Amino acid sequence: MECKPIGIIHSPFKELSGMPIQPAGARGIKGMVEVFEEYRAGLKDLDGFSHIILLYHLHCSDGYELEVKPFMDNVTRGLFATRAPRRPNPIGLSVVELERVENGRLCISNVDILDGTPLLDIKPYVPLFDQQQQVKSGWLEASGAHVGSIRSDKRFIA
């Protein structure tokens, strides 16, 4: 398996510690996605969407554990029941607001991504496809309302 970056994500976050842990905690934070020249034709018609899904390589993630203490809990949980960044395949996902597309650059907001992160893919967010009914959030139902105030710390920095 081989993945090649299609661009670079730029944000105000220069280090992992202190970042928002999800886009819901990054309301209003601006960023920019620089799409490499050879992929820019793929941006055609993207400007008609208000939100996009960014898939990216968690390039500062090193190693993983199958049981972790997530940012929003004090109990050890199974890795795949969390969004902890240290994973067997360090792939991140964020739904961000697309403000505009300019010359191969995507101006975005609600950014919770480290500056310089390699972009793997872009998908349009489509409520008809992506919004689910009767959703359960497992252990997060007790603590999910606090995501806006929680910031990353050093627990997932190797």
How does pLDDT run across 28-50, given as a tens digit for each residue? Answer: 889 999 999 999 999 999 999 99
d(CA 79, CA 12): 28
pLDDT band at 144 (very low <50, low <70, confident <90, very high): low
> In terms of CATH architecture, what is 7-152?
Beta Barrel (2.40)
What local confidence, expressed as pLDDT, does residue 131 receive?
76
Q: What is the mean pLDDT of the chain?
A: 86
Domain-wise residue ranges, the chain: 7-152
Return left, alpha or beta for 63; rule: phi > 0 is left, psi -120 to 50 is alpha, else beta. left
What is the average per-residue pLDDT within 127-144?
Answer: 69
The three-class DSSP label of residue 138 is helix
> What pTM, to 2 d.p., does this model score?
0.83
Q: pLDDT digit string (tens) for 71-104? A: 777 889 899 988 888 899 999 999 999 999 999 9
Considering only CA atoms, which of 15, 20, 35 is closest in space to residue 109? 20
